[in-house]
Amino acid sequence: MTAFGQTSGKISIRRQGGSLVLGQRADRLRHAVALLGRLILLAIASSSALAVLFIFYFIIRDAIPFFHDNGLREFFTSTHWYPSNAAAPEFGALAIFYGTGMVTVGAIVVAVPLGVAAAVCLSDVLPFSVRQWVKPTVEILAAIPSVVYGFFALVVFAPLLQDKGGQALSVATWLLFGPLAALAILVVADVSCGRLRERFRNPARAAVMILLTLAALAGLWKLSAALAAIHISSGTNALNASIILGVMALPTIVSVSEDALTAAGRELREGSYALGATRAETILSVIIPAASSGIMAAVILGIMRAIGETMVVLMASGNAAQIPQPWYNFLSPVRTMTATIVSDMGEADQTTGSSRYHVLFAMALCLLVVSFLANLASEWVVRRTVAKISAVRGTGGGDAASRPQGFMRRVWSWIGG
């Protein structure tokens, strides 16, 4: 045992000694190998950036012929979408843009209040032990394949909307707006009476609360009664797609905004409490404003998830290329850009070179531009948050990224070692 240990020790010493007295040639060789390795790694790393450039190049290349042949006017202003009609094809994509917008707005309405509330709850309300279980559970939502969501939307949710649509809507209204109204009433009463003299404060608060509660109950009752009377003839519609997309966007929004809220830091919270603020006041007027850009970024990421999603909208939205009547009718089927591309691409071989083929690339280009802009926006917002937080903390990031230095120079110095 000891002998073995000694030998291995000797060997390692000998090795180290070997590298110390490296000959000049061996040294040069080693440098060359290191340089080669770095170049290969650089090539691998930049291949993903190149992929993005190539995607832009190929989509633009195939989109241009469409605009060249058909101009911009019909594509952006007409709602007649008949690309496969051999005699008189029409390429009006307005209704499809509208459908994408509508479903996305619906998803935002579902996901943002829920997601931000859940994030606040996770970061500031729930005890640590519960949070450790809840956050991973929410993130599991992101791991479910979208076709499963789509299947659920088509087979479970759509029939539910058709059979018990009105009732389901009114129950959902109570579930969603009930707690929201209670929270709002508490906060409004608290804030509106906070400035009064101490003698009047409590009675005034009680009066405001009772008044608001009555108003909210009446409003909710009326709304739910109106909703309960609705009969939904087709369960695959903008509402269905919006709700499912909202649920799909939830994990992104919860996760990213919870990170932002946590990143706001203990110091801010403790400072706020030290000044006598309640927990509600701390959350509403200190933590959320401090994390607002992070929450913004979370919302943008969630929106991108909703815009880019294909399978769910294909299965849940009904795919009717129309602007609903009236324009806010979420119970009518709509069609989105992603679903159009995937369902009209079927015979791409057959139609290569025709307008029917290129129009899909034109649509893809629009989609790409939108999500690219959203991505840039969220990147910018996140960067601003990081800068702001480090400025507040006085811990200006001293890392290489914040030092002003040319991009190519940085790359070059990295290769050189």
Partner 1 sequence: MSTSKRSNRFLGWTLALVATVAAALVVSSVSVAEETKAPAGKIVCDGSTTVGPIAKAFADYFMKQTGVNVTVGESGSGNGAKSLINGTCDIGNMSRFMKETEFKAAVEKGVMPVATVIAMDGVCLIVHPSNPIKALTTDQVKGIYTGKIKKWSEIGGPDADIVIISRDTNSGTYETFAEKVLKEEKIASGVEYVTSNGAIRARVQNTPAAVGYVGLAFTTDGVKALEINGVMPTKRTIATGKYPVARPLFMFTNGYPKLGSPLHEFVTLYLTKKGQDIIDSVGFVPVTNYE
Q: Which residues bind partner 1 (CB under 8 A)?
A: 19, 30, 33-34, 36-38, 40-41, 79-87, 95, 154-155, 158-159, 162, 233-236, 314-315, 318-322, 332-333, 335, 343-347, 349-351, 417
Q: Which is nearer to partner 1, 298 or 341 (CB)?
A: 341
Least gap, CB of 38 to partner 1 (angstroms):
7
C-alpha dist (Å) from residue 271 to 107, 124, 204, 261, 264 = 36, 15, 29, 15, 12
Q: Which is nearer to partner 1, 32 or 226 (CB)?
A: 32
Q: Which is nearer to partner 1, 37 or 136 (CB)?
A: 37
Least gap, CB of 128 to partner 1 (angstroms):
37
User: 């000959």: which residue's tokens?
Assistant: 23
Largest separation between any pair of C-alpha atoms in the chain: 91
Q: Tell me how crowded residue 98 is: count the other CB atoms within 10 A of its CB.
A: 19
Under 8 Å between Cβ of 291 and 201? no
Least gap, CB of 273 to partner 1 (angstroms):
45
Q: Which is nearer to partner 1, 115 or 235 (CB)?
A: 235
Cα separation of 194 and 414, whole Å?
58
State the DSSP H helix or E strand holding residue 313, giving kind and residue range, or none if neither. helix 311-316
Under 8 Å between Cβ of 216 and 258? no
Q: Tell me how crowded residue 23 is: count the other CB atoms within 10 A of its CB.
A: 8
Q: Which runs of consecutive H residues, i.e. helices, occur in 194-278?
A: 198-228, 238-263, 266-274
Q: Which is nearer to partner 1, 32 or 125 (CB)?
A: 32
Least gap, CB of 82 to partner 1 (angstroms):
5
Q: Tell me, what DSSP letter sits at residue 86?
A: S
Least gap, CB of 334 to partner 1 (angstroms):
10
Q: Which is nearer to partner 1, 149 or 300 (CB)?
A: 149
Cα separation of 384 and 400, whole Å?
17
Q: Write the CB contacts of 350 (distance below 8 Å, at least 6 apart in sequence).
A: none
Q: Which is nearer to partner 1, 40 or 211 (CB)?
A: 40
Q: Which is nearer to partner 1, 238 or 291 (CB)?
A: 238
Least gap, CB of 80 to partner 1 (angstroms):
8
Least gap, CB of 402 to partner 1 (angstroms):
23
Give me the amino acid identity at 330.
F
Least gap, CB of 107 to partner 1 (angstroms):
20
Least gap, CB of 261 to partner 1 (angstroms):
37
Cα separation of 259 and 264, whole Å?
9
Q: Which regions of 303-367 does DSSP assign to beta strands (E)?
A: none
173 closest CA partner among 220, 229, 109: 220
State the DSSP H helix or E strand holding residue 384, giving kind and residue range, or none if neither. helix 355-393
Token reading at 270: 């403790």
Q: Which is nearer to partner 1, 138 or 331 (CB)?
A: 331
Least gap, CB of 25 to partner 1 (angstroms):
16
The separation between CA 93 and the C-alpha centre of its own chain, rounded to angstroms, equals 25
Query: 293 exposed, middle or buried (CB, 10 Å; 0-12, 13-18, 19+)?
Result: buried
Q: Which is nearer to partner 1, 138 or 232 (CB)?
A: 232
219 closest CA partner among 186, 180, 191, 246: 180
